[in-house]
Amino acid sequence: MEMATEHYRNKRFAPAYMELSRAYMLSPNSRPIALNILKVLMALKEQGALNQKQQENAAKAYDLLSGQPLSGEQKAIFQRCCDELTLPELSQFYKEEAEKAVLAAS
């Protein structure tokens, strides 16, 4: 996670995202990692559109953080991420896609 922080500080957002993604795969219930992923994805979105995997990870992080107790600063960051990344809508889209895939497979 230290490398991700260093990349982020130096505005190397793609490498920061890759480091955080690896950490998130190892700790999928980590709220700090999820929140950091959202922050990096906001920065990446400012540079252009997010790809499908990035959008899926944003939705996954949103699902993890929604309804969880967050500090004042964390709440503010999370709300900003929700607004800028349209996370509630993105999460709903991927839930519907997963349901469609299950129905198609049966």
pLDDT tens for 33-60 read: 999 999 999 999 999 989 999 999 999 9
Q: Look at residue 2 in the predicted model and tell me its pLDDT.
A: 87
What's the whole-model pTM score? 0.90
Residue 82: name the closest of 30, 44, 35 by CA: 35
Give the C-alpha separation, 85 to 41, whole Å: 8
In this predicted structure, the answer to whether residue 1 has a pLDDT above a threshold of 80 is no
| Terminal-residue alpha carbon distance, the chain | 40
